[in-house]
Amino acid sequence: MKKSFTLLEMLVVIGIIAILVSLGFASYSTVQKKARDAKRQGDLKAAQQVLEQCYSVNSFQYPIISGSPGTITATCPAPNVSITFTMTDPLNTGTYRYTVSSSSTTAYTISVDIESTTTDFTVSNQQ
């Protein structure tokens, strides 16, 4: 009598492997979303620091923030100082995720959609 696996045993093993692969894929997708969210939040915090530095060297005025599809740009026109930053969404789908809800020389508010939750992450002027 030959020793071998039956068809049923092979199907059970293939089924278990398929379940493990699908669980791994779901976990990987969640990790990717959280990584992109962390990148967006880090970009906004860095932009907030740049804007606050510009405020201190630009006669206590914030730069005007402008946006285009996928990016937000601001230039600080202080004497002998030029601070420029550009934020690009890490998903790279052309979707405009960063939103400037107000921008003037006295205040600003920038928001970003967070994939893993339904709330937005927002930074605004600290002065």
End-to-end CA distance of the chain: 85
120 belongs to a structural domain: yes
Q: Is the pTM of this model over 0.75?
A: no
pLDDT of residue 29: 86
Percent of the chain with pLDDT over 70: 85
pLDDT of residue 95: 54
Q: How many domains does the chain have?
A: 1
In the predicted structure, residue 50 carries a pLDDT above the cut 80:
yes
18 belongs to a structural domain: yes
Q: What range does the domain containing 109 cover?
A: 7-124
106 belongs to a structural domain: yes
Helix (H) or strand (E) holding 38: helix 7-57
2 belongs to a structural domain: no
1 belongs to a structural domain: no
25 belongs to a structural domain: yes
